[in-house]
């Protein structure tokens, strides 16, 4: 009886996780697209910019007697930008769309994995290939999104003619980390597939 209850709870949990994952993936895309359309309709774009070197740096020595000094600079700035060229807006749109596709790809992988777990055969022959392909897609989209974002920031600086914000590339490790993690999962599923084939051969 306990085993039956446990199995039911496990299936219910997988169904809930699947529903939450689907809602998250759809929400990211739908709200991301709505936000982008809202920006364009308002005649502006929103993006994260990064201060140039030595801009807005600070030093805090406290009471001046402790000998402790805290130095640093203001981090990334969430900005609203108007008056840029159509080319810059186009690059921003491309960066946003590719970023949304990256998150959608991660959501699809999660949904597929949960579906295999619900079916009771997570190590079917094609599982590791799907995950390996997803890993490559996430890595490619994630890197492309970062490069397009960098291009968009540089284009904004070029359009403005200013030097307050940096045109340097800023690496975000998240998408690369997720892609590499999926590669590890693919290797694990490949091993699981072999074990499952051996087990099926013994039955």
Distance between the two ends of the chain, CA-based, in angstroms? 26
Q: Which helix (H) or strand (E) holds 150?
A: helix 127-160
In this structure, are residues 162 and 83 in contact, taking their beta carbons and an 8 Å threshold? no
In this structure, are residues 192 and 123 in contact, taking their beta carbons and an 8 Å threshold? yes
Q: Where are the beta strands (DSSP E) in the chain?
A: 45-49, 57-60, 70-73, 77-81
Question: Quick one: tokens of 1?
Answer: 């009886």
| C-alpha distance from residue 123 to each of 9, 25, 137, 187, 190 (Å) | 22, 24, 21, 11, 8
Indicate the angle between helix axes 127-160 and 173-202, nearest 10 degrees: 170
In this structure, are residues 110 and 70 in contact, taking their beta carbons and an 8 Å threshold? no
Instruction: Give the pLDDT of the chain (203 residues) as one tens digit per residue.
Output: 455 555 667 677 767 777 888 888 888 889 999 999 999 999 999 999 988 876 777 777 777 777 787 777 777 888 999 999 999 999 999 999 999 998 888 888 888 877 777 776 666 667 778 888 888 998 999 999 999 999 999 999 999 887 788 888 988 888 888 888 888 888 887 777 777 666 665 55
- Listed in sequence order, the residues at least 6 apart from 194 whose beta carbon sits closer than 8 Å to its beta carbon are none
Q: What is residue 172's three-state secondary structure?
A: coil
In this structure, are residues 98 and 148 in contact, taking their beta carbons and an 8 Å threshold? yes
Residue that is written with structure tokens 């740096």 in the block: 57
User: Residues 89, 91, 94, 99: is their CA dihedral positive or negative?
Assistant: negative
């Amino acid at each position: 009886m306990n085993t039956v209850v446990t199995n039911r709870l496990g299936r219910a949990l997988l169904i809930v996780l699947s529903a939450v994952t689907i809602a998250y993936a759809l929400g990211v895309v739908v709200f991301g697209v709505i936000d982008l359309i809202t920006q364009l309709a308002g005649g502006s774009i929103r993006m994260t910019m990064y201060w140039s070197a030595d801009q807005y740096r600070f030093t805090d020595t406290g009471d001046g007697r402790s000998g402790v000094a805290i130095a640093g600079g203001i981090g990334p700035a969430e900005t609203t930008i108007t008056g840029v060229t159509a080319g810059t807006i186009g690059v921003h749109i491309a960066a946003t769309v590719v970023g949304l596709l990256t998150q959608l790809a991660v959501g699809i992988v999660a949904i597929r994995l949960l579906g295999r777990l619900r079916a009771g055969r997570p190590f079917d022959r094609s599982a590791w290939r799907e995950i390996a392909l997803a890993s490559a897609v996430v890595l490619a989209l994630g890197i492309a999104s970062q490069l397009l974002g960098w291009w968009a920031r540089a284009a904004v600086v070029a359009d403005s003619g200013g030097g307050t914000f940096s045109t340097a590339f800023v690496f975000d490790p998240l998408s690369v980390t997720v892609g590499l993690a999926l590669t590890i999962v693919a290797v694990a599923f490949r091993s699981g597939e072999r074990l499952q084939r051996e087990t099926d051969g013994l039955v």
